[in-house]
Amino acid sequence: MKFIISIDLMDLSFNLDSKKYGRISWSFREKKPLKFDFLLAWHHPGVEESTMMSYFSNYGIQEHQPKVAVSTVADLQCPVLQPGEPRGRPEVACSAGELLDWLGAVFTNAELNNEPNNFISTYCCPQPSTVLAKAYLCTITGFILPEKICLLLEQLCRYFDEPKLAPWLTLSVQGFADSPVSWRENEHGFQKGGDHLYNFVIFNNQDYWLQMAVGANDDCPP
């Protein structure tokens, strides 16, 4: 059996003395008497973070910071992309789908050369391709707010304000594997979890691609 309890925390009538609060409290106690953790992110410009900590002082609250890992990959074989060819063109440019597969291989440190004695991965870089002398990979793991992602995207776009040798860069955002909601705050399929991700490809001429993906039981927004 599945119960869905929706709470609008922005509703001004939602207070300790209201019938709405009593109804929701009853739902948690009687219908689904479970204990679970809440994951909260704080974004309120001009207000100290200590204010939030004091607000939840009566609860077992722990503060966590995102984990940042930076690495350098030498002699990386990567697909050739053209801003105006998202579907790719034989012997000219790889497609957006091929790029997404390649990114997955890079993120998981998979081999890209399809060696005959490699029994773990038979993947190889799509063609046409080129070899980069050095590539940088920065991974941030945590509960990241959209405002922070937008700020990071703006900074990456400014990277090409001055001429660079790099033809493009990417920003990939991956949701939690057991995320309760999909795009537009819709539920995932019945009794299904699901992940969703999106990826920006920013070219040195300021053109960009936006790739979006979801689990098998969900739809991307139009």
In this predicted model, which residue has the larger pLDDT, 104 or 43?
104
Cα separation, 109 vs 125, in Å, equals 13
Query: What pLDDT was estimated at residue 195?
Result: 62
| Confidence bin at 4 (pLDDT 50/70/90) | low
Residue 221 has pLDDT above 80, yes or no: no
Region 69-94: what's the mean pLDDT? 94
Query: What pLDDT was estimated at residue 52?
Result: 66
Q: Where are the beta strands (DSSP E) in the chain?
A: 67-79, 129-141, 168-174, 197-203, 208-213
**Percentage, residues of the chain above pLDDT 70:** 79
Judge contact between 70 and 136, C-beta under 8 A.
yes
Instruction: Share the mean pLDDT of the chain.
Output: 82
Tell whether the torsion through CA atoms of 90, 93, 97 and 101 is positive or negative. positive
Query: What pLDDT was estimated at residue 190?
Result: 54
Per DSSP, the residues of 143-195 read: ---HHHHHHHHHHHHHGGGS--S--EEEEEEE--TB-SB-GGGPBPSTT--B-
Judge contact between 173 and 86, C-beta under 8 A.
no
- In the block, residue with structure tokens 């005959």: 116
| Confidence bin at 83 (pLDDT 50/70/90) | very high
Residue 116 has pLDDT above 70, yes or no: no
pLDDT digits (tens, 9 = 90+) for 94-107: 999 999 999 999 98
Q: Which of 194, 199, 153, 197 is nearest to 175 (CA)?
A: 197
In this predicted model, which residue has the larger pLDDT, 13 or 52?
13
Q: Which of 71, 60, 6, 56 is nearest to 37 (CA)?
A: 60
pLDDT digits (tens, 9 = 90+) for 134-188: 999 999 998 888 889 999 999 999 999 988 888 999 999 988 766 667 777 777 6
Q: Is the pTM of this model over 0.85?
A: no
